[in-house]
Amino acid sequence: MKRIMTIVGARPQFVKAATLSREFARVGIEEKIIHTGQHFDANMSEVFFTEMEIPKPSYQLDINGVGHGAMTGRMLEGIETILLNEKPDAVLVYGDTNSTLAGALAAAKLHIPVVHVEAGLRSFTMQMPEEINRILTDRISTVLFCPTDTALNNLAAERFDKLPVTIIKNGDVMQDAALFYAQKAAEKATVMKQLPVQQFALATVHRQENTDDPSKLKEIVEGLNVLHRELPVVLPLHPRTRNILNQSGLKVDFITIDPVGYFDMISLLQHCDLVITDSGGVQKEAFFFGKHCITLREQTEWVELVEQGYNRLAGSDPELLMSAYRHFMQHRSDFTVDLYGKGKAAAMAVEWINAW
């Protein structure tokens, strides 16, 4: 029986990992999970794992609240110790967090094959820690599961065809998760009962490049305030961002609510008229649920959404935001196009691993 060690460090990675965990169980592959603790999340209680049908971690390292170097170093040390004891056949990592890089490094140095899910993504912005993590993880991986043709093209441009690595386009496991949990969200989500509006734009703002830049944050708030006069804006607000807004004295006219769990987020995505976000994951989820998206960044890893008209980049510019809003209010798109595998990404990856 194959033995896989999965490394995760944040709630989105657990959601992604759950898609493969179900497939591992189906085909009889043994999997153990290491949770590095990178993003401390009080919502990740036993209820979270039960409701989401996610296997609980075999190991918890509880490493958080320190700088990038200290965090990655401590994770590397902790993961290495576990791998030396467990001796798995492969280590599987997701995305682009410090946990991703630490897991890949620990495995590569022990000559354990590394499987990277969500490989080949690039923002071409080296100021982003995530860009460094994803580039280095790709370079030391044994198997690269790519979500899109864009990811394949990025790897080809970097001459990965000359490296001893297997590259496979399997689709995006986030679409698997969205489709799997959509029905459960209909049963468990309560957020819509609490909203004072039924028609609205769903906004999320969390990236430090926006929240920690006073001029960008001011422009984003101004843009959302203007849009709110035409279509109510609902923004689940992280406590850290709320504190920054309070300290900055910026006047918020739109509707803010407390952070929401995954089921409530799916419900908001299902019921909104438009999505405005600086999150990579939410850009895709907007597409999964048939909603246009305005991205509050200068670039995106999901360029196919922009190229095919589902997404527009606005940065922090209020005028670009309103221009994109007016365009989408008058525009219809075909969301049945297969960009991300239509929910088969996890099954395809696990079938390949099982035959490996």
Convert the pLDDT of each residue in 103-150 to its tens digit. Answer: 999 999 999 999 999 999 998 989 889 999 999 999 999 999 999 999
Q: Where in the chain is the domain with CATH 3.40.50.2000?
A: 3-172+341-355, 181-329
Catalytic residues: 206
Residue 216 — pLDDT band, cuts 50, 70, 90? very high
* Length reported for the chain: 356
Question: Does this model's pTM top 0.85?
Answer: yes
Report which secondary-structure segment, H or E, holds 8. Answer: strand 3-8
Nearest residue to 140 (alpha-carbon basis) of 113, 161, 169: 113
What average pLDDT does this structure show over 14-40? 94
Nearest residue to 2 (alpha-carbon basis) of 354, 349, 348, 352: 354
Cα atoms found within 13 Å of the Cα of residue 302, Cβ hemisphere only:
28
Nearest residue to 281 (alpha-carbon basis) of 264, 269, 267, 298: 269
Query: Is 203:253 a contact under the CB 8 Å cutoff?
Result: no
Q: Does the 3-172+341-355 domain belong in CATH 3.40.30.10?
A: no
CATH superfamily ID and name for 181-329: Glycogen Phosphorylase B; (3.40.50.2000)
Residue 221 — pLDDT band, cuts 50, 70, 90? very high
Q: If you average pLDDT over every residue of the chain, what do you get?
A: 94
pLDDT tens, position by position, 265-307: 999 999 999 999 999 889 999 999 999 999 999 999 899 999 9
User: What's the CA angle centered on 66, arms 64 and 70, to 5 degrees?
Assistant: 105
